[in-house]
Amino acid sequence: MAADRLLSWSPRAASAALAAIGGLHVVWATGSSWPASTSGSISGRGGSAQPSAAACLSVAGLLGTASVLVAGRPRRAPALRRLGAGGVIAVLTTRGAFGLAGRTDLLSPGSTSEDFRRLDRRFYSPLCLALAALSLPAATAWAR
């Protein structure tokens, strides 16, 4: 019974977090650096370098899609849903591992500022790994 609650709770939490992070990328597309004090903390490029609106909106769209897949949609295509959730988990795990290693720049060229790397190792990468772990039940045969 406890396992069933975990299997239904964790993907929902991951889905909500992915949607919220997608919303944050929409805010960044407007030119805001909130909640960071400078854009370099979010772009990794140092100083006040702001990611392009197109880049922010692209990431927001991908995060929205990830949120939907992890939430168990589309319900009528369970194989597609599990495959999509598996892809989300693979991307989040890769992003988290590269960030912890201090090499996010290999995935996102230019992400080299010291401030970004510090935040990446402390917050961004562990968050990616936690979201990947919470999303695991969505990619299994148990996913409804």
Q: For the packed helices 78-100 and 53-70, what is the interaxial angle rounded to 10 degrees?
A: 130
Residue 33 φ/ψ, nearest 5 degrees = -110, 5
Structural domain including 125 reads 2-139
The whole-number pLDDT of residue 35 equals: 74
Residue 10 lies in a domain: yes
Q: For the packed helices 53-70 and 2-29, what is the interaxial angle rounded to 10 degrees?
A: 160
Residue 134 lies in a domain: yes
Residue 38 lies in a domain: yes
The whole-number pLDDT of residue 41 equals: 58
The whole-number pLDDT of residue 37 equals: 67
Residue 43 lies in a domain: yes
Residue 78 lies in a domain: yes
Could you list the pLDDT tens digit for every one of the 144 residues in the chain? 555 555 578 999 999 999 999 999 999 899 887 777 665 556 666 655 678 899 999 999 999 999 999 999 888 998 999 999 999 999 999 999 999 999 999 998 878 888 888 989 999 999 999 999 999 999 985 555
The whole-number pLDDT of residue 69 equals: 95
**Burial letters for 66-81: b for 16+ Cβ neighbours within 10 Å, e otherwise?**
bbbbbbbbeeeeeeeb
The whole-number pLDDT of residue 34 equals: 79
Looking at the 3D structure of the chain, how many domains does it have? 1
Taking the C-alpha atoms of residue 63 and residue 140, their distance in angstroms, rounded to an integer, is 20
Residue 106 lies in a domain: yes
Residue 144 lies in a domain: no
The whole-number pLDDT of residue 6 equals: 53
Estimate the share of the chain in helix, then strand, then coil, as percent rounded to the nearest 5: 70, 0, 30
Residue 91 lies in a domain: yes
Predicted structure pTM score: 0.85
The whole-number pLDDT of residue 101 equals: 95
What separation in angstroms does the CA of 115 have from each of 21, 28, 49, 67, 121?
A: 20, 18, 13, 28, 10
The whole-number pLDDT of residue 48 equals: 58
The whole-number pLDDT of residue 50 equals: 76
